[in-house]
Amino acid sequence: MKTHSKRKELIMLPLLLVAILLCIGGHFILQPSFQESNIAEYSLAALPFLLFAIVIIAIRMAIKAEQQEDS
Predicted local distance difference test score (pLDDT) of residue 1: 47
Instruction: Round to whole Å and give the CA distance between 25 and 30.
Output: 9
Query: pLDDT for 17-60, tens place per residue?
Result: 999 999 999 999 989 888 888 999 999 999 999 999 999 999 99
Which of 41, 52, 42, 44 is CA-nearest to residue 19?
A: 52
Predicted structure pTM score:
0.79
Instruction: Round to whole Å and give the CA distance between 52 and 69.
Output: 26
Instruction: Round to whole Å and give the CA distance between 43 and 29.
Output: 8
Domain extents for the chain?
6-67
